[in-house]
Structure 1
Amino acid sequence: MKLAKFVILPAALFTVLVLWAFWLEPASLRNETHKVQIPSWPAECNGVRIAVLADLHTGSPFNGISKLEKIVLLTLSAKPDLVLLIGDYVIHGVRGGHFIPPEASARLLARLAAPMGVYAVLGNHDWWF
């Protein structure tokens, strides 16, 4: 009983957390919709759909060019009014990943379009190139 309580249970919990953190979560792709109500928001802006893409880290495990293409297609299918790209498009030197030139990611992200525009900023991982 003591062995299970002090060794086996923590080891099993640790294994589950590692699997989630390094395999399940990075491999997942979610499209989440949130309705935000801002009291001072102009009435003519009600219903504006904004797509926010962040921390794509293309080249990290589970995040190759094919996944980035799925993300772009999923974003376009949502028909957003505005697209915000908020950095960390690439990754460099990560275990289990592979280098993907920033130009390859940029070609896919350039397909994004929205009536109010597509705006991007660089993240800390993007300054390495």
Structure 2
Amino acid sequence: MNKKAKRWLLAVGAVLLAIVMWGFVEPYILDVEEQEAVITNLPADMEGEKIAVIGDFQVGLWLDNVWTARQAVEDVIEMDPAAILITGDYLYHVESMDDPKLAEVMDIMRPLADSGIPVYSVLGNHDYAMSAEDAEPNMELAQGLADELRTLGVVMLDNRNEILLEGTDEDFYVVGLGSHWAGNDLPNEAFEGVPEEAPRMVLMHNPDSFAMLEAGAAPVAVAGHTHGGQIRTPFSSTWSYLSLFQGGEVTADGWIEDEYGAEENDLYVNRGIGMSITPMRINSVPEITVFTLTASD
């Protein structure tokens, strides 16, 4: 091998090493995405209210991202939004309620309980100990986690809805769907009792649940699960390691603008905090989303 070829190999190796090293740094960078949530029939007295979204802590992965999860909790408390929505996947490869990682999750969440800010959440597939879509859901773990979160004052919304903000003319609802992989995303149950014209946001873990919603049911829906692709090609919103597992191109974060879901429904995908398989992120920094409620024209 001549000297020129060796130099090229060394240069390529140095670049690859730098990318890998950066992949272990990026999980500790926390991005705040400011977005508008354009809501049908939003009462005037709710205009400008803020809703913060975090999720996908994935506590239990080797070199998991507990530091950033704690920082995200601290940051959203300082923002003092009207409410906080959490997209699920608190755990990663935890099989029983005896696992010490469960106590770590509760410790991360406890400041939210102490803050007095209303917190609403759903569960994700890893909260059922499901690392693959065809895995058997651990119902005991999921129920136990949900019960523990309730003791902290978290309102669990798996196929339920609650009035998030009381308005002068209309109440504002948050509707939650259960885990898609666990076969527990049931829109008919989730929307039961929500007036047809009532303003609302819809919370889910997996973006695949969004396709199940009827037209106009979700003027703003928010999901997690994808980690923004976690490791993805720069300058591309659609190619990532997620594409390799799911096939084709996957839009893994932000507003999903492709033809997906029914008319008059809009989905935003949050990149989350934690990681799967490997404790790296490349071109997909952890995210807090802050929505400002805005009335539709």
TM-score by length of 1: 0.71
Tell me the SS of whatever aligns to 1:87: coil
- Whether the 8 Å CA contact 1:68–1:105 is kept in 2: the answer is no
Q: Which runs of 5+ in 2 are unaligned?
A: 130-140, 142-297
In the other structure, the counterpart of 1:14 is 16
Cα deviation, 1:56-98, whole Å, max 9, x if unaligned, reads 122441523x5543332222111011101101212238xxxxx
Kept after mapping to 2: 8 A contact 1:72/1:111:
yes
Aligned residues: 118
Q: By how many angstroms is 1:41 displaced?
A: 6.1
Contact 1:68 1:108 in 2 (8 A): yes
For structure 1, the residue ranges without an aligned partner over 5 or more in a row are 94-98
Percent of aligned positions that are identical: 25
Identify the residue that residue 128 of structure 2 maps to in structure 1: 127
Specify whether residues 3 and 79 from structure 1 end up closer, same or farther in structure 2 by C-alpha distance, changes over 3 A only.
same
* Secondary structure in structure 2 of the residue aligned to 1:56: coil
Alpha-carbon distance in 1 for matches of 2:109, 2:102: 10
Q: Deviations over 1:6-47 (max 9, x none)?
A: x122212211221122x111233x251414162746243321
What's the counterpart of residue 86 of structure 1? Answer: 87
The alignment status of 1:2 with 2:44, answered yes or no, reads no
Greater helix percent: which structure?
A: 1
CA distance in 1, matches of 2:79, 2:127: 26
Amino acid at match of 2:93: H
**Offset of 1:111 from its aligned partner?**
3.4
What corresponds to 1:27 in structure 2? 28
User: Does 53-62 or 31-40 show the bigger shift?
Assistant: 31-40
Q: How does 1:58-77 map to 2 (within 5 A)?
A: 58-60=59-61, 61=63, 63-64=65-66, 67-77=68-78
- Is the partner of 1:83 in helix, strand or coil? strand
Whole-Å separation in 1 of the counterparts to 2:51 and 2:10: 46
User: For the Cα contact (< 8 Å) 2:89–2:127, is it kept in 1?
Assistant: yes
After superposition, the CA RMSD in angstroms is 2.7
Q: Could you say if the C-alpha distance between residues 4 and 62 of structure 1 is closer, same or farther in structure 2, counting changes exceeding 3 Å?
A: same
C-alpha contact (below 8 Å) 1:58/1:105 kept by paired residues: yes
- Once the 2 structures are TM-superposed, how far is the Cα of residue 100 of structure 1 from its aligned partner? 4.2
The alignment's TM-score, normalised by the length of structure 2, stands at 0.35
In 2, Cα distance between equivalents of 1:17 and 1:11: 10
More strand, by proportion:
2
Q: Secondary structure at the match of 1:55?
A: coil
Q: 1:35 to 1:83 in 2, by over 3 A?
A: same
